Amino acid sequence: MGYTDEYQAALENGEHYWAEQAERIHWFRKPQTTLKKTESGTWNWYPDGELNSCYLALDHQIAQGRGEQVALYYDSPVTGSKQAISYNALRDKVARFAGALRSHGVEKGDTVLIYMPMIPEAAVAMLACARLGAVHSVVFGGFAPHEMAVRIDDAEPKVILTASCGIEFDKTIAYKPLVDLAIATAKHKPRCTIVCQRPLLKAELNNARDLDWEQVQEGVEPAECVPVRGEDPLYILYTSGTTGQPKGIVRDNGGHAVALSYALNNVYGMNEGDVWWGASDIGWVVGHSFIVYGPLMGGCSSIFFEGKPVRTPDAGTYWRVIAEYGVNSMFCAPTAFRAIRKEDPNGELARQHDLSSLRWIFVAGEKLDSSTYNWLSELLKVPVLDHWWQTETGWPMTAPMMGLTDPAEPRLGSTHKPLPGYDIRVVDGEGNEVPVGEAGHICVKLPMPPGVAWSIWNNDERFVSSYLTAFPGYYHTGDGGYRDDEGYIYITGRTDDVINVAGHRLSTGEMEEVVSAHPAVAECAVIGVNDELKGQLPVGLVVIKAGEEIDEAQLQAELVQRVRDQVGALACFRRAVVVKRLPKTRSGKILRATLRKIAAAEPYKMPSTIDDASILDEITERLQQAGFDRAKAPE
């Protein structure tokens, strides 16, 4: 069947379509129920099927004769090390480590927090949890201890897994003290912290709860896979929402396995034995879906890369990896290619490598600008395919289906057509569908397909209020955009207080909480401004308390340090601009949507509820004075 038939089949009888797709994975016990509505008004796919995600990723592959094939190619230009780990070897490492976790009390349903750099032990940690039916929660290395503490208190992990250090270009970042500080700050205390010691920097195991990664494995029995139900959680992944409290997105085992297997073959066009590279980090959803679980469940060899696109050692490192391992396809955030292009505008470094293995490149995570698209397409002479998804969905909502015989032609500016299972509608503020070509809120008609998250950890109500309430009957993506007359979707950006900095999803609300806590600050708004390299950067608009005498440069330095200490370096909060007043509605709400438009140099309509319209001119002028010359006056 071609795209149109597949899409129609899923639209007309979703349950039947996804029951058939469930045949593509190995169940210990096949699901009797395909789709179940829950009491809180969400859904579960394959709730009563029995499976194990680690079994699918490793043991099942070995049973299919892939034991000697490479499962992970670890490539670390920052340490000069490389490893090719076969499915057999990875299964043995995972089973042993799972045995160690079990001997420290980790059982099915327990939570385990993972704070680790891109080393193979991080994949071992995730898969070992899955093997036991335990629920992992990976926290990205760039988050500060405060952010980790918030996640510890929410997920209440029995055990924390970490490494002695991470490496950022030429900087060695000691992880263990960050974990210690997070545990000290959090109310919940894990039973133990297991530390993987890296040769570059050893951690002091100075707390009673500290354990050594190798020692915990001595003399333990390897663990077998524990069957779990399709609806049981595989992992929690925290993502930014509009408030300071991140949302613990919960992924199930059954729907996830079916969706990833479906997407790997049909969307990414990957087959068993192919070499796939998800150029991201295990701290993000891409790392979960398409560095670890997806490619392994699909019998591919997955690249596990510890480095950056530039300066590790140069802007040719991605091309070297593609050539060295014969990468057939990859995922990457556009910002990485912008970074490469900045260093090597003529692509000289790419031309030094044989990139003939590459069939196409997928990009997502943020807007793909036309100049990066053109540069990359001309340089590589392969399709550069924009596609769109979110942490919540776990796999793409719109994308070309490269595994089908008739993938539609890409269209510049569009993230392509909806995938089977995603009935995408563009609606206005009242939930009415808008005409073709008109911008609105992008929503998906319920129910969503398998793999999509259906709850927030310990907080189903928040899931319902965040995603299902604004437009009844739809999942609200939080993205704005439009559809063209042939059904291609165009994403214009977030309609809430989430920004995307270097492909990293961040909440401005979270930064606002930190900035407002400064003693000199009366109130503030943090907005995302456009940035050529990172897509967006946060800027604080700050009102100083009456009578406060503080130099603007000093205030900025203090605020930058606070955000760095509390949110983390990855926030890239480097600018704070003092303003006299912030624009508000008559009921006192800050007009963030209008501020966002001013900062993005987009035309805006004067909000009818504005209390004092002259403030917008004041802010535009202040931003222009502060060097944000794109800030623009109203239409």
Q: Which of 96, 131, 476, 505 binds ligand AMP (CB under 6 A)?
A: 505
- Please, which residue, 233 or 334, has the CB nearer to ligand COA? 334
Q: Which of 77, 157, 440, 478 binds ligand AMP (CB under 6 A)?
A: 478
- Please, which residue, 570 or 577, has the CB nearer to ligand COA? 570
- Please, which residue, 34 or 280, has the CB nearer to ligand COA? 280
Dihedral angle, C-alpha 113, 115, 121, 122, nearest 10 °: 80
- Is residue 375 within 8 Å of 344, Cβ to Cβ? no
- The site partner of 166 among ligand AMP, ligand COA, none (C-beta below 5 to 8 Å per kind) is ligand COA
Contacting range for ligand AMP; rule: CB under 6 A; set: 173-181, 261-269, 383-391, 515-523: 383-391
**Pairwise CA distance, residues 331 & 474, whole Å:** 28
Q: Which residues contact 409 (CB under 8 A, 6 or more apart)?
A: none
- Please, which residue, 280 or 372, has the CB nearer to ligand COA? 280
- The site partner of 558 among ligand AMP, ligand COA, none (C-beta below 5 to 8 Å per kind) is none
Helix residue ranges per DSSP H, 156-287: 176-185, 254-266, 285-287
Amino acid in position 392:
E
**Pairwise CA distance, residues 249 & 318, whole Å:** 31
| DSSP-derived pairing of the beta strands 301-305 and 70-76 | parallel
Binding to ligand AMP, residues 429-448 (CB under 6 A): none
- Is residue 369 within 8 Å of 377, Cβ to Cβ? no
**Site membership for ligand COA, residue 387 (CB under 6 A):** no
Q: Which of 99, 269, 365, 421 binds ligand COA (CB under 6 A)?
A: 365
Binding to ligand AMP, residues 233-252 (CB under 6 A): 239
> Crossing angle, helix 145-155 and helix 552-566, to 10 degrees?
40
| DSSP-derived pairing of the beta strands 575-578 and 535-544 | parallel
**Which backbone phi and psi does 39 adopt, to 5 degrees?**
-65, -35
Count Cβ atoms within 10 A of the Cβ of residue 32 and give its class: 0-12 exposed, 13-18 middle, 19 or more buried.
exposed
Match 């269209």 to its residue by tokens. Answer: 411
- The site partner of 479 among ligand COA, ligand AMP, none (C-beta below 5 to 8 Å per kind) is ligand AMP
Contacting range for ligand COA; rule: CB under 6 A; set: 10-18, 151-159, 335-343, 484-492: 335-343
Closest CA to 29 of 2, 47, 45, 14: 47
Report DSSP letters for 591-609, one per residue: -HHHHHHHHTT---PPPTT
Q: Which of 76, 261, 335, 391 binds ligand COA (CB under 6 A)?
A: 335
**Site membership for ligand AMP, residue 476 (CB under 6 A):** no
Taking residues 251 to 290 in sequence order and writing x for each that binds ligand COA by CB under 6 A, - otherwise, the string is: ----------------------------xx---x-x----
Q: Which of 338, 367, 441, 534 binds ligand AMP (CB under 6 A)?
A: 367
Report DSSP letters for 492-545, one per residue: EEESSSEEEETTEEEEHHHHHHHHHTSTTEEEEEEEEEEETTTEEEEEEEEEEP
- The site partner of 339 among ligand AMP, ligand COA, none (C-beta below 5 to 8 Å per kind) is ligand COA
- Is residue 262 within 8 Å of 81, Cβ to Cβ? no
Q: Give the binding-site size for ligand COA (rule: CB under 6 A).
A: 24
**Site membership for ligand AMP, residue 414 (CB under 6 A):** no
**Site membership for ligand AMP, residue 388 (CB under 6 A):** yes
Q: How far is the CB of 513 from ligand AMP (least distance, A)?
A: 20
**Site membership for ligand AMP, residue 491 (CB under 6 A):** yes
**Site membership for ligand AMP, residue 494 (CB under 6 A):** yes
**Pairwise CA distance, residues 255 & 32, whole Å:** 14
- Please, which residue, 66 or 494, has the CB nearer to ligand AMP? 494
Residues of this chain that interact with ligand AMP (CB under 6 A) are 239, 284-285, 364-367, 386-388, 390-391, 415, 478-479, 491, 494, 500, 505
Residues of this chain that interact with ligand COA (CB under 6 A) are 140-142, 166, 168, 173, 279-280, 284, 286, 308-310, 333, 335-336, 339, 365, 502-503, 534, 569-570, 572
